[in-house]
Structure 1
């Protein structure tokens, strides 16, 4: 495909409608138009020129504004569908997601899971949608920005007469002896109005606000940066938002730190407002809620782990410092922040049972079980031992087949299935024991396990956050707002004054706010022989409304 050489000598890319230099119409359609379409200065856009290779077809597809809008609509619909059922982070922990959604929501839940809506923002097709929006923004911008920039850069002061006649604001008048002085007066007034003046052979091009044309493209840059920041959140190490349950006395590795840091909960404290001393200020709240929390905080110790240590050991931890974490007073270190989010008072910790002979109620011994680290076997006394056959942290009852059921992994209502070994029963007897409850699921036994006591401890819930994408998102948002301001509060205005064959031609163009430009031109040409430019679009509209043709108006 060859380039197009205009009569003025300027070589234009194939597909150009108006010469980038003089503005002459290069196509038959452009020559017949009553007004030129100046949206892209008649420049050649790649999407409207090339359509042969697969690259051309991909470019043309993503350069369509309609495609971009539909991608956004589809993404919004998908985001809305992702709120119908709870996301995977909100379902019961340690439960197979497929099983959970199919059991709770039936066929719809299974389809929901299979389509990836259960973990929407990490599903491959949702990320592909977001990436496609970014590709569409890039291609749309390049497809329009490059030819527009080239056309504005190459524009000459002296434009073809047909170009000026087809501007929305246009008029002509015969030149007079005062025309030269009028041009000088107008030139001075244009400078006072902060127009940039260019002259060529006595002709004038006054221009200002060209930078406003780049506002939409600055918007696109901001959006692209914002999308990049959003997608970087799925890159390991860039964004972390995890929950850490930490009981008093526990040391746990901080999630998302690659086992580099560990945290110890020395003590959790919850203070409430006193119903007597604080009633004057918080009386209504205390009456309404009963207990109003004044402060809850975690006294913690931050450790850094020796990289050569074996994971799971408490040795090899280097103490960094002690901290107090309160609401709105997080612990911050090495791009991480630990926020105090919730707590659990008097969480079950250890459970003690008596191993006793039923007939005589003789206690053979007792067993204390750590609810967070139950052992498989326990020695009670010589000749007596226990084997833990089943542990149900949140016992909810027996299934139809007699199998004990549990809802959660947190010990809210712990229960155990024991096998009891004694000299009389070396093969063992089975006993099911919970709080104030003992069941013999396989028949009568001579020994049983009886609940004795429960010890508790407090637990704190911390949120671990790390966000290395925040500055990228902020930068993208700031650039987007700059583009909004740039394109909203300024506009690109041009005024041409030329002498052609004894006539003076005046034309004006702006990308918006036509009436403001017209008033500004009228102010500039006041008390000169230069006529007020007519709004040819309004004239054309009025002519149609009155039934007149263009020939009648002429």
Structure 2
């Protein structure tokens, strides 16, 4: 289940509530990743942790219309292999959701290498206009989950920022009055997947003016990508069968002790036409039971040499 930061949520099927007090994540830096991962724009977490508080509902439980009375019972910093444990309840860190908040790209001129400046581009509540150096960027479209429709139109598959893209009109010195169109993908992986440079080259060619500068909007480093990590996903497990497991383990141990350290002996007697038939079985120490059988027979005045009683089935 997902636990947003700062909110106590009920753990279904239990009287407990879990609150995500603070979620933190550490990512591998570019110096720690293969070059191919860097080119693909991969962001790989190194450590993620949820500072969690466990509550038990003590009053007004079960009615979603009434605020329950909660009592704090445990607190733990949950990591991937370090769950919160309380009275058979175990809460594991399973995943987290990183939501893109903003990027800080740079507007530059690819022909001259001149950098005009950096601007903050927020995914939600995006401003409609940005002033970067001598140029103005007017937002003409936002596609949070970019896709190309059947007729070639730009569209979005959902309102989740899975592949955010922004279309601009760049206006300023030495540019047509209507501006220069530019499509920008916020994440490097989407830039490569949807061929951002090829799209912008075609948009520039459609203007029919070779004197228009080759603009570029891009990131200087992955530090200019801003995420929020407010939702932590947990796997909750309650060990109700643990007492039965311990009972079963105890019974098994008793059986092992009896089998290894205790001797099991059985003796059979049968009289058939004044003939005594005797049989004996033991799980260990055959020589001991052989002597005991000979002594028992001697007590009823039947003399038998113990060595003559063999596994082969000698009879007395």
Give the TM-score normalised by structure 2: 0.49
Higher relative contact order (CA 8 A, sep 6+): 1
More strand by percentage = 2
More helix by percentage = 1
